[in-house]
Amino acid sequence: MKKILIVSNSIWNVENFRRSLINKFLDLNYKIDIIVPFDKKYLNTIAHKNIKIIYIDFKSKSYFIFLDFLFIYKLSRYIKKNNPHYVLSFTVKPNLICGFLSRFYNYKSICNITGLGTLFLRGNFIKKLSLLLYKICLKKVNHVLFHNINDKKIFIKNLIVNDYNSSTIPGSGVNLNYFHYDKKKYFKNKEIVFLYLGRIMKDKGINEYIKAIETLKTLKLNVKFIFAGAIDNKNKNLNNKFNQLIKNNNIIFYKDILDVRNLLKVSDCIVLPSYREGLSKSLLEASAIGRPMLVSDVPGCNDIVDDGVNGFLFKSKNYKSLQNCLIKFINLPEEEKNLMAKNSYMKSVNFDEKIIIDKYLNLMN
């Protein structure tokens, strides 16, 4: 029986982004251990006789892996005792630590680079430090998976990986059996519902989106704006602006969503003004449902949206460009909106999660 160890920064990440991959491993009768920080909200999320969850906390927001010596020590003890055949790591800190430990233990390491957003949006020192850490820690890994070609090119350019030991995959993919195509019909003078699906935080371009919405509201257009996602409470200024939008009834806000499919179906268009992505999960789901998308022209967004085909691209960190893009879609003839929706669905076959599952199985065999 193959023994698989999965290491991630949260059980929520594993449940929402890796569930189908885990189910495939279970079908093949693999034994799976999952190491994540403790989270009481998801205690009973994953349950199976071949799954064991081990809770080990670490500082996911720190860039200095040596601050997590206790986590490294506990993880080393686990690996030495259980001797897994494969270690699959997700998110920054697990990738760095599991990659580093692969120098000393006899397991095959597969790292999944889910994005470089936060690291590459900070100062130049943090960016250089991050690349140095990756270069040190990923030297002996068996394979590195990237969610977009831009991130892979950066790693190759900095001699961290090469074409032989790295690949690109369509993010965490989308389950096309769960996210069914919902044919949308656009009519003249119909209210346009714009949906933002994701965390409410600066790096997602929320400040620019708020400014664009405030301007559009003065134009008395027949539009509705819906937001769904957790709020980043660390940015008080952004929180105040966002709460003011809610108070003035300029937007509809949902903090907890049990099934995002319902929101995607009632929406007419998805908006994501992010500064950078790995490969946006919300856009993959919107594509599968069949919705046009307005997104910033950055890696992880422009990999999904072809300008003028299944949506529009606008300049990142530029509220006027975003505002013009919103108006452009509003004024788009109904037949062109309908075609965009269909094109969005047609492209979703490129993001089928089966592609990712097959990739892992090929690497592990």
pLDDT digits (tens, 9 = 90+) for 237-296: 888 888 888 888 788 999 878 789 999 999 999 999 999 999 999 999 999 999 999 999
Indicate if 192-351 has the same CATH topology as 3-168: yes
Average pLDDT (317-326) is 96
Instruction: Report helix, strand and coil shares of the chain as percent, to nearest 5.
Output: 45, 20, 40
Q: Which CATH superfamily is domain 192-351 in?
A: Glycogen Phosphorylase B; (3.40.50.2000)
Q: How many CB atoms lie within 10 A of CB 128?
A: 11
Q: State the pLDDT at residue 119.
A: 66
Angle at 194 between CA 147 and CA 223, to 5 degrees: 165
118, 131, 151, 163, 174 from 157: Cα distances, Å: 20, 11, 10, 11, 30
Q: Any idea where the domains of the chain sit in the sequence?
A: 3-168, 192-351
Contact 169, 90 (CB under 8 A): no
pLDDT digits (tens, 9 = 90+) for 208-237: 999 999 988 888 888 999 999 988 888 888
Q: State the pLDDT at residue 220.
A: 83
Confidence category of residue 198, pLDDT binned at 50, 70, 90: very high
The SS3 call for residue 314 is strand
C-alpha 298/C-alpha 126 separation (Å) is 20
The half-sphere exposure of 15 on its side-chain side, counting CA atoms within 13 A, is 13
Confidence category of residue 154, pLDDT binned at 50, 70, 90: very high
Average pLDDT (5-21) is 91
The structure tokens listed for 192 are 């346009």
Residue 189 has pLDDT above 80, yes or no: no
CATH of domain 3-168: 3.40.50.2000
pLDDT digits (tens, 9 = 90+) for 38-87: 877 766 667 778 899 999 887 666 555 666 788 899 999 999 999 999 99
